[in-house]
């Protein structure tokens, strides 16, 4: 998916001085420097890209999770703790960081800086302490709640997923897309500094495959890439929650699941298919 082409798919929205795309629900910033953020990942399997063992009772699909602090089962919930630092390089890492990489994507209008009414924000990634609690055995809800601002799920590499709206609940516009790095992620402005994906996480679809399991939304249902059975899906191919139900590699007996698409709303539609868990710091 070409970042610069995404702009044509979005409606020009409003912008708030408070946030690039999140809200007061977002965790507050840590004081970690870029170098400290690298150290926070540590020389563990999670940091090096290895699979993380979650112990007894963890659904098999969660074996795909990596680059996280921990994962396990507490009662009827899967509990994931993450520092929310991408395992891939990014221009949003400080220039002294080993993970700093100048922008080399396809959008000629890219900038790390976000223009806000009260001045520019040019954030550097900082480690977070985020805990997500997802239903272990998700079920379709009788009443479907909308996704709020802030995190609506987590990618398999420990990065948070956001919905299709910016901080004033308007559809993403060029201000957002021009701030996406070469892997389609960016952080919220200070003080939150919360890195996230609103759209296809290009690093994951390039390394894992365009039809691969990419993450989980807060309702516990999985998120897959844009290609299924050789077809690149569009929003029109999916239901109003941006998914459908059938067997997948990880769920041979079948399950409801979401897909990313090139067109809005990209990850999720009119709300969660199931009952959402929680995300806290």
Q: For 75-93, how does the pLDDT look when each residue is reduced to its tens digit (9 = 90+)? A: 999 999 999 999 999 999 9
- Radius of gyration of the CA atoms of the chain, in A: 17
Q: What's the pLDDT score for residue 115?
A: 80
Low-confidence ranges of the chain (pLDDT < 70): 1-55
Assess contact for 36 and 127: CB atoms under 8 A. Answer: yes
Report the share of the chain in percent with pLDDT over 90.
Answer: 73
Q: Which of 136, 155, 139 is nearest to 245 (CA)?
A: 139
Assess contact for 113 and 122: CB atoms under 8 A. Answer: yes
SS3 132: strand
Assess contact for 278 and 243: CB atoms under 8 A. Answer: no
d(C-alpha 99, C-alpha 101), whole Å: 6
Model-level pTM?
A: 0.83
């Amino acid at each position: 998916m070409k970042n610069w082409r995404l702009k044509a798919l979005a409606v020009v929205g409003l912008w708030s001085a408070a946030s690039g795309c999140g809200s007061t629900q977002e965790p507050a910033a840590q004081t970690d420097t870029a170098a400290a953020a690298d150290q926070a990942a540590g020389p563990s399997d999670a940091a090096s890209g290895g699979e993380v063992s979650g112990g007894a009772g963890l659904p098999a699909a969660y074996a795909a999770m990596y680059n996280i602090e921990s994962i396990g089962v507490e009662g009827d919930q899967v509990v994931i703790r993450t520092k929310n630092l991408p395992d891939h390089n990014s221009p949003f890492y400080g220039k002294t960081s080993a993970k700093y990489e100048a922008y080399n994507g396809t959008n000629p209008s890219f900038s790390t800086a976000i223009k806000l009414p009260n001045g520019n924000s040019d954030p550097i990634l900082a480690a977070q302490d985020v805990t997500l609690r997802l239903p272990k055995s998700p079920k379709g809800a009788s009443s479907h709640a909308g996704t709020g601002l802030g995190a609506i799920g987590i990618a398999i590499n420990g990065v948070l997923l956001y919905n299709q709206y910016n901080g004033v609940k308007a559809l993403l516009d060029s201000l957002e897309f021009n701030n996406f790095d070469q892997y389609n992620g960016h952080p919220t402005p200070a003080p939150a500094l919360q890195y996230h994906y609103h759209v296809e996480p290009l690093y994951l679809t390039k390394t894992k495959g365009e039809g691969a399991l990419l993450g989980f939304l807060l309702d516990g249902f999985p998120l897959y890439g844009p290609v299924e059975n050789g077809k690149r899906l569009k929003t029109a191919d999916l239901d109003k929650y941006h998914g459908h139900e059938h067997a997948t590699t990880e769920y041979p007996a079948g399950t409801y699941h979401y897909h990313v698409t090139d067109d809005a709303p990209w990850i999720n539609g009119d709300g969660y298919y199931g009952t959402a868990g929680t995300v806290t710091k």
